[in-house]
Chains A and B, each alone.
Chain A
Amino acid sequence: GAVVSQHPSRVICKSGTSVKIECRSLDFQATTMFWYRQFPKKSLMLMATSNEGSKATYEQGVEKDKFLINHASLTLSTLTVTSAHPEDSSFYICSARGTALGERGTDTQYFGPGTRLTVL
Chain B
Amino acid sequence: DAKTTQPTSMDCAEGRAANLPCNHSTISGNEYVYWYRQIHSQGPQYIIHGLKNNETNEMASLIITEDRKSSTLILPHATLRDTAVYYCIVRATGGANSKLTFGKGITLSVRP
B42 in complex: contacting residue of A34, A45, A49, A114, CB < 8 Å: A114
Contact B97 A93 (CB under 8 A): no
Complex contact A111–B45 (CB within 8 A): yes
Query: Interface readout for A1-14 with B: 1 if CB under 8 Å, 0 if not?
Result: 10010100000000
- The main secondary structure of chain A at its interface with chain B is strand
- Whether A44 contacts B93 in the complex (CB less than 8 A), given A93-B44, A114-B42, comes out as no
Q: How far is the CB of A9 from chain B (nearest CB, A)?
A: 10
Contact partner of B96 (CB less than 8 A), chosen from A32, A45, A113, A116, is A32
Residues on B with beta carbons closer than 8 Å to the beta carbon of A46: 99-102
Query: A43 contacts which of B41, B43, B49, B102 (Cβ < 8 Å)?
Result: B102
Q: Are A43 and B93 in contact (CB under 8 A)?
A: no
Tally of contact residues, A, Cβ under 8 A: 28
The docked-state distance in angstroms from the alpha carbon of A57 to that of B100 is 14
Task: Give the distance to chain A from B27, nearest Cβ to Cβ, in Å.
Answer: 15
Bound form: Cα–Cα A97–B30 in Å: 18
CB distance from B95 to the nearest CB of A (A): 10
Closest A-chain residue to B57, C-beta based? A1
How many angstroms from the CA of A91 to the CA of B43 in the assembled complex? Answer: 9
Interface-side segment among A61-69, A72-80, A81-89, A102-110: A102-110
What are the 4 A-B residue pairs with the smallest beta carbon separation, nearest first?
A111-B43, A44-B102, A111-B44, A43-B102
Interface residues in chain A, defined as those with a beta carbon under 8 Å from any beta carbon in chain B = 1, 4, 6, 31-32, 34, 36, 43-46, 49, 51, 57, 91, 93, 95, 103, 105-106, 108-114, 116
